[in-house]
Amino acid sequence: GIMTFVRAALFTVCGERVVSKLRHQLFSRITEQEIGFFDEQRTGVILNRLTDDCSTLQSTVTTNISIFLRTSVTLVGSVAIIFVISWRLTLVMLAVVPLLAVGAVRYGKFVKGISKEVQDRLAEATAVAEETISSMRTVRSFVAEAASKERYQERLLEALELAKRRSYAYGFFMAGMMGLANIALGSVLYYGGTLVLSGQLTVGQLTSFTLYTVSIGASLGMLASLFN
């Protein structure tokens, strides 16, 4: 309980300090840009970078890093334990790791690209909202409320479609991860059964190995969720 409090509190405080410093540095760099920069960049886009993008990074710094470190330690420890129990079964289980690694790398590249596009569309939507609200008198004078709503909705729909593609890809990725994990578990149970019958492994050792294998699968699933 106490260690959980310390871990959660420290990571959260560190994350808040990092993001606060990042926001200050980003704002400082923005104010130092040439005037031409502000002619090319819309105010709403710049504001979105200061708010939404930094908030996304804050989640990564405070939560994701904590989960990654904790899960990685559990994963490495579990692999070490099952290797001691039976190196043969461990090699069978680790046979799916190359496939998992290739899938994770390809999915990570895809998510990185599409996430940037989502943030760009949201930044454009924020720009539309900022322009409309800051010049509401002009918008009312030209009866342009409907046009402003339509522009804002278009940007939101574009972001939504990209986010849906990312969600579908995440679903396929998780299904593949779980499928490979189940194949590995089935292979472990089958080969472990033959080792028990031949007297090279006890039932207790096989049970322990299976439980640690399930723990490894849960850790891999947790790590995979961080890609989304």
- In this prediction, residue 81 carries a pLDDT of 93
Distance (Å, whole) CA 175 – CA 221: 10
- In this prediction, residue 161 carries a pLDDT of 92
- In this prediction, residue 30 carries a pLDDT of 84
Indicate the residue type of 50: L
Distance (Å, whole) CA 129 – CA 124: 9
Q: What is the pLDDT along the chain (228 residues), one digit of tens a residue?
A: 677 777 777 777 877 788 888 888 888 888 888 888 888 887 777 887 777 777 777 777 677 777 888 888 888 999 899 999 988 888 888 887 777 777 777 887 888 788 888 888 888 888 888 888 888 888 888 888 888 899 989 988 998 998 898 888 888 888 887 888 788 888 888 998 999 999 888 999 999 998 888 888 788 777 776 766
Contact indicator for 216, 85 with CB cutoff of 8 Å: no
Is the model's pTM score more than 0.75? no
- In this prediction, residue 157 carries a pLDDT of 92
- In this prediction, residue 154 carries a pLDDT of 92
Distance (Å, whole) CA 62 – CA 8: 8
Cβ count near 197 (within 10 Å)? 9
Contact indicator for 54, 19 with CB cutoff of 8 Å: yes
